[in-house]
Amino acid sequence: MTVLNSIEDLRQAARRRVPRAIFDYADRGSYDEVTFNRNLTDLAALQLRQRVMVDVSQQQLTTTILGERWEIPVGIGPTGLTGLFHANGEMLGARAAQAFGVPFCLSTMSICSIEDVRGAVQKPFWFQLYLMRDRSFNQELLDRALAANCSAIMLTVDMPVQGLRRRDPKNGLSIPPKLTLKNLFEVAMRPTWALKVLTGRRRTFGNLEARMKGTGGLKTLSEWIAQQFDPSVTWKDLAWLRERWPRKIIIKGILDAEDARLACEHGVDAMVVSNHGGRQLDGARSTIAALPEVVDAVAGRCEVLFDGGVRSGQDVLRALALGARGCLIGKAFLYALAARGEAGVTLALDIIRKELAVSLALTGANDVGKVTRDILIPR
Ligand SMILES: Cc1cc2nc3c(=O)[nH]c(=O)nc-3n(C[C@H](O)[C@H](O)[C@H](O)COP(=O)(O)O)c2cc1C
């Protein structure tokens, strides 16, 4: 049995398990991938401060965010097409997250529907929303999320238009995935995936299926997004959402102090400092570079979450040191799911938990809720 004890191990296992078009869709960023790479290198460049002779026998890894208890300060962020990485992927991801005691956020662009995930878990989960040109569709999604007992809406605002991920058209990524002459060999080499996903029941956008029927079918994902997503969204639309959603609102895609201030003024409960994992504006700074000034601008008015490049417990610790209350994982989750399904997601969370516990102790700290910049070497 291969030993898998890092997110990179899970990434390599995922590469072997799913066809290239699917793997590349998750693994890469937009355009020249400058921002995608910055997310990783800027995190790695933050040096942790080794401290000794401190009593680290009692460790506190749990925290409370948005009134919910998190077993570790790491949740699963929304990712589109998750059910193509593993059959019933969103249901398995949500189950693994809930059993572990961390939040799971379902994407609008998921393969399993809101109702599928509701049926797979006991506790509330979060639902991520994109605002569409047709607001009656958003209203319908909000009604469904409320009926499914979702505790928060995560409004993603960094995709008014879509950044090009160059590999997707080259790889012929299609939804539902198709067997073609070009991918025949690759798919044949991945029989478990082919059997479960290609012939499975859930292969297209579970939340959108009914609506898509009237839109002339789906040619490519990017075409559909260009047709349906509303590029005219502004802060006033947050008020629209607030009037219709009685529970928590998290805004995702903040990378600028001015936007952070505006988000607070518009009454969000939390924000995610995010550049969509380097999949949108290429050339933008990394999320870890933006985090300190966002935290300063927010000044405690709402909770600040962080994502972008988190691949280890050390990365989580770095983000906490710069003021994040918790982190979300995107790619790390997908690698784990593709590699080993539900057990893989549990394993990924466990790997991160152990790395976090050890690194916390070796910096002489005891409580994830009390980590400060003191655990970093000043630059
Ligand atoms: C394959 C993939 C699909 C994604 N789909 C969505 C989505 O549907 N909605 C959304 O808000 N963010 C989406 N994201 C962005 C993630 O929620 C998150 O911001 C990002 O992955 C964090 O960076 P990381 O992948 O380095 O952890 C997606 C990311 C990936 C990798």
Say how many Å lie between the CA of residue 293 and the centre of ligand 1.
22
User: Residue type for 257, please?
Assistant: A
pLDDT truncated to tens, each residue of the chain (379 aa)? 789 999 999 999 999 999 999 999 999 999 999 999 999 999 999 999 999 999 999 999 999 999 999 999 999 999 999 999 999 999 999 999 999 999 999 999 999 999 999 999 999 999 999 999 999 999 999 999 999 999 999 999 999 999 999 998 888 888 888 888 788 888 889 988 888 888 888 888 899 887 776 555 555 667 777 888 999 999 999 999 999 999 999 999 999 999 999 999 999 999 999 999 999 999 999 999 999 999 999 999 999 999 999 999 999 999 999 999 999 999 999 999 999 999 999 999 999 999 999 999 999 999 999 999 999 999 8
CA dist., res. 304 & res. 301, Å (int): 9
CB 25 near ligand 1, within 6 Å: yes
Q: Which residue intervals of the chain are DSSP H helices?
A: 7-17, 20-27, 34-45, 89-100, 114-120, 135-147, 167-171, 184-188, 191-193, 209-212, 221-228, 236-244, 257-265, 287-298, 313-321, 331-362
Calculate the CA dihedral of residues 115, 119, 123, 124 and round it to 10 degrees.
0
Query: What pLDDT does 220 receive?
Result: 63
Query: Is 276 one of the catalytic residues?
Result: yes
- Closest residue by CA, ligand 1 atom 11: 156
Specify the ligand 1 atom closest to the Cα of 308. Answer: 23
Question: If you measure from the C-alpha of residue 107 to the centroid of ligand 1, how many angstroms do you get, rounded to a whole number?
Answer: 9
Q: Is 153 a pocket residue for ligand 1 (Cβ < 6 Å)?
A: no
Q: In whole angstroms, give the CA distance from residue 245 to residue 249.
A: 8
- Does the CB atom of residue 310 touch ligand 1 within 6 A? yes
Q: How many Å lie between the centroid of ligand 1 and the Cα of residue 169? A: 18
Helix (H, G, I), strand (E, B) or coil at 247: coil
Q: How far is CA 9 from CA 3, 27, 72, 312, in A?
A: 8, 14, 21, 12
Which atom number of ligand 1 is nearest to the Cα of residue 107? 8
Candidate from 90, 222, 228, 276 with most ligand 1 atoms within 8 A of CB, to mutate: 276
- Substitution site in 11, 23, 159, 279 for ligand 1 pocket (most atoms within 8 Å of beta carbon): 279
What's 78's DSSP letter?
P
109 CB within 6 A, ligand 1: yes
The structure tokens listed for 108 are: 């609008």
Q: Angle at the Cα of 252 (from 232 to 360), degrees rounded to 5?
A: 165
Distance (angstroms) between ligand 1 centre and the Cα of 50 equals 32
The pLDDT, as a whole number, for residue 223 is 78
Q: How many CB atoms lie within 10 A of CB 97?
A: 25
- pTM, two decimals, is 0.97
| 276, 279, 318, 340: the active-site residue | 276
